[in-house]
Amino acid sequence: MPRVMIKGGVWRNTEDEILKAAVMKYGKNQWSRIASLLHRKSAKQCKARWFEWLDPSIKKTEWSREEDEKLLHLAKLMPTQWRTIAPIVGRTASQCLERYESLLDRAQAKESGDTTSSSAPPGERNKLKPGEIDPNPETKPARPDPRDMDEDELEMLSEARARLANTQGKKAKRKAREKQLEEARRLAALQKRRELRAAGVKVKLRYIKKGRMDYNAEVPFEKRPAIGFYDTAKEIQQEETDALDMSKGLRQHQLELKRRDEEENKLRKKDKEKRKENEIPKAIFEDDEPDRKRSKLVLPEPQISDTDMEQIVKLGRASEAAKESVSSDALLADYNVTPGPSLASRTPRTPMPQGDKVLQEAQNIMALTNVDTPLKGGVNNELIENGGNFSGVTPGKDSVRTPNTVLTTPFRTKEGQMGLTPGNRMTPSGVSISGGTPLRDKLSINPDGSLDEGSGTTYENGEAKQVLRMGLSSLPQPKNDFEIVVPQEEEDDNEVEMQDDDNTYIEDQADVDQQTEEEYRKKREADFRKRSQAVQRSLPRPLDVNHSVLRPLNSEPPLTDLQKAEELIKREMIVMLHHDSLETPTNAQMGQDDNKGSCKKKERFIHNESVHRSYISKYPYHNFTDEEMSNAKDLLASEMEVVKKGMGHGDISLEAYTQVWEECLSQVLYLPSQSRYTRANLANKKDRIESHEKRLEQNRQHMCKEAKRAGKIEKKLKILTGGYQSRAQAQIKQVQDLEDQIEQSRLEMSTFEFLKNQEISAIPQRLFSIQEDVDRQTKREKELQEQFYACSLEYEELTTTKLGYVDDVH
């Protein structure tokens, strides 16, 4: 059966990059040609991927408040028309739909009071379950490519690389292939003619058509020289001119042709100018946000006109002139129109609009969506602020009114009133109540709290006096019985001063925090000591409490007193187990020990928590004092001594206790199929094998866990001690080098010591032989000197005799 491939699915990084490159080459209209590069995607999917995710003009930043208001307003005007709403908001249709659903979920969660759903992000709530297929994979981020890609993916990648690398088109590719084939045919024919000529076969060249040229026999574009002598006068003159120019000096660009690097620089400049015109590749890879034109600053219309301002100025000037003309101005305070800088007040701010517009619009849309049929009658769903307006595409803006200081007079600050001093506390409202009590009432003409408009009439003042008299008359009669008690011992002045100092002492906040933390720590330690020993020692506890260990107290036959006491102990143990599971649950009980099946474990934890609460409400847990616990421990210790003496037991050693514990533990066997423990002698061979396999698997998991933990610790230690290890290795290497040098020096020293001894032993013999040579040479020189002396005498005698003979002859 042939393989059927359905195009679609999640997008990968490779497919996104191929799509970007294809759009750069083919544009945004040839989607069929672009889809031919992607074997698993259709043209419609490629187009949706580009316009929903890869387009650089798509805005992927956080949603602003203005965009949310515009989205909710347009959703109310044009329900479900997301393709129309998207360009108005400046987002894609999928982004608008996801944001709209998230706003509705948030509003619904606030109405229902469910904090868990509102705190979770929309991506987690709408996450696909295992086995489901994403209906809109074009709007999701690309997944990473696998390490081992399939053959069809590698083939698609190589084909896309080859097609996108061809920038000349199909015709240029065909021309190049034909030119290559023609060159191959020419070389084959030339080789064939050479072989035939070498074999002695004369090959006649093909006939050259008329008007054609044989480039092997003729010289193309040959210019034959003219017949006769050639005049060289111009050449001689040109040579003299060139020689004169050479004497002046030539530059390199005059001697050589155009340099290649200069040509490349010119071409690069041209390419930059072309890229400036169309920056699509740069925009695709940088994925920057497009520049938006700033809107105009729209301010609310002022509530005070120019005429009102002129009136304010005139009133101020008139009051100043009247003040200067009064002779008793020293008795009056400063009543300027504008308060002085000493006045602790602030300029009223523009009142902030109340309520969250985005949340209100979302609640209105939910109310309109959940409208029942009008056949039932009754009142329509109540909308917040009349359900908004439908006057335009953009939501209506509330006109914020500017406080009018002409129509209102600020009141005098009451005693103890906060908020008028600039600081980190409350800010006074910009809208004040108009009245007769001015802010600058320094003479205390009006009493505090007089906030009624105008002055009271005579009737009202009389009525107030009458009410005051009635209140005073209802008071009890005074008793003038006084008793003075004199203290027996008078306190010293120093003690009174110390008490005053104690009363006026203000403790430091750091000491107060430290004392509070110490009290909290002591309280926590006291609460921890009241816990069971299993909690204090961090011992393992069961996930579920087994109630089957209890026996009914009113059973047949009736239980003995010892059995009843044992049942009471079991009941208290089960209550403690429920209390510990409820107050201090372990990670296994809360379902946090492993990621696998975490949802089921959390559901189980919630169910177990309800079971624990119901049991504790039925059998309450009693908290005992430290004194009661110490008395119980003393009672148990004394009872244990009595039992030891009665049973003849002594102090058990650690080895004996370990042996007994191992024997008791070996008699208990866990059955994985039944999820319970039983005695080993009651289990069959199959249950034993399963139990041992389960224990082996647990040991392997524990071993893997400890191996991972050891690897992490080793990696951490390697990071922490890596510098010390490298330094130690360098020091070790340096010590080894020094040891090698010491060994070499020791070897050389022993060698030279041996040579020294040899030299010392050979010196006398050498001195003796040298002395003999010296004596022999001295003796020989002496003999030769004597011989020379004798010969010299004989020479002189012969010379004298010869001279006498010559004289005689003459």
Ranked by mean pLDDT, the top range of 71-75, 300-304, 331-335 is 71-75
Report pLDDT digits (tens) over 407-442. Answer: 444 444 444 444 444 444 444 444 444 444 444 454
Query: What is the token pair recorded at 17?
Result: 């990059």
Rounded to whole angstroms, the Cα distance separating 803 from 786 reads 26
Alpha-carbon gap, residue 566 to 89, rounded angstroms? 75
| Residue 345 banded pLDDT, cuts 50, 70, 90 | very low
Token pair of 27, please? 């544009």
Over residues 180-207, mean pLDDT: 87
Note whether 410 and 432 are within 8 A (CB).
yes
Give the pLDDT confidence score for residue 251 in this predicted structure.
62
- Rounded Cα distance between 420 and 412, Å, is 11
Task: Give how far the C-alpha of residue 692 lies from the chain's centroid of Cα atoms, to the nearest Å.
Answer: 45
* Torsion angles phi and psi, residue 668, rounded to 5: -105, 135
Residue 596 confidence class, pLDDT cut points 50, 70, 90: low
Q: How far apart are CA 235 and CA 242, in angstroms?
A: 10
Instruction: Assign 783 to helix, strand or coil.
Output: helix
Q: Which of 610, 636, 612 is nearest to 541 (CA)?
A: 612
pLDDT at 377 over 70: no
Q: What is the pLDDT of residue 31?
A: 94
Q: How buried is 209 (Cβ within 10 angstroms: 0-12 exposed, 13-18 middle, 19+ buried)?
A: exposed
Average pLDDT of the chain is 78
pLDDT > 80? residue 756: yes
Q: What is the DSSP letter of 679?
A: E
3-class SS string, 381-411: CCCHHHHCCCCCCCCCCCCCCCCCCCCCCCC
Q: Which helix (H) or strand (E) holds 676?
A: strand 676-679
C-alpha distances in angstroms, 467 versus 396, 448, 472, 474, 477? 53, 19, 9, 11, 19
HSE (CB half, 13 Å, CA atoms) of 738?
A: 6
pLDDT in tens, 684-743: 888 889 888 988 999 999 999 999 999 999 999 989 998 999 999 999 999 999 999 999
User: Above pLDDT 70, what percent of the chain?
Assistant: 72
Cβ-based neighbours of 418, under 8 Å, separated by 6 or more = 425, 426
Contact 340, 351 (CB under 8 A): no
Length of the chain: 810
**Which phi and psi (to 5°) does residue 670 adopt?**
-95, 130
Indicate the residue type of 173.
Answer: K
Q: Could you please report the per-residue DSSP string of 465-532?
A: HHHHHHHHHTSPPP---------SSPPPHHHHHHHHHHHH----HHHHHHHHHHHHHHHHHHHHHTS-
Per-residue pLDDT band for 142 (boundaries 50, 70, 90) equals: very high
Q: Is the pLDDT of residue 576 over 60?
A: yes
Mean pLDDT of the 441-466 span: 58
pLDDT of residue 671 exceeding 70, the answer is yes
Rounded Cα distance, 318 and 315, in Å: 5
Q: Which residues of 512-532 are buried (b: 16+ CB within 10 A; e: fewer)?
A: eeeeeeeeeeeeeeeeeeeee
- CB-facing half-sphere around the CA of 289: CA atoms within 13 A: 9
Strands in 222-270 per DSSP E: none
Tell me, letter by letter, the H, E, C secondary structure of 433-451. CCCCCCCCCCCCCCCCCCC
Angle, CA 49 vertex, CA 46 and CA 55 arms, to 5°: 115
Pick the residue with more confidence: 249 or 434?
Answer: 249
The CA distances from residue 108 to 112, 185, 363, 365, 370, in Å, are 6, 81, 7, 11, 12
> Is the pLDDT confidence value at 638 over 80?
yes
Q: Which residues, 6 or more positions from 326, have their beta carbon under 8 angstroms from its beta carbon? A: 332
How many separate helices (H) and strands (E) can be counted in the chain? 26, 2
How far apart (Å, rounded) are the C-alpha atoms in residues 18 and 36? 11
pLDDT given at position 766: 92
Tell me how far CA of residue 241 lies from CA of 185, 245, 255, in angstroms: 53, 6, 16
What pLDDT, on the 0 to 100 scale, is given for residue 643?
A: 83
Q: Are 290 and 56 in contact (CB under 8 A)?
A: yes
Cβ within 8 Å of residue 99, ≥6 positions away:
63, 68, 71, 91
User: Is the separation of the CB atoms in 346 and 422 below 8 Å?
Assistant: yes
Residue 10 C-beta-side C-alpha neighbours within 13 Å? 12
* Confidence at 578, pLDDT banded by 50, 70, 90: confident
CA-wise closest residue to 283 among 31, 49, 55, 27 = 55
Predicted pLDDT at 561: 82
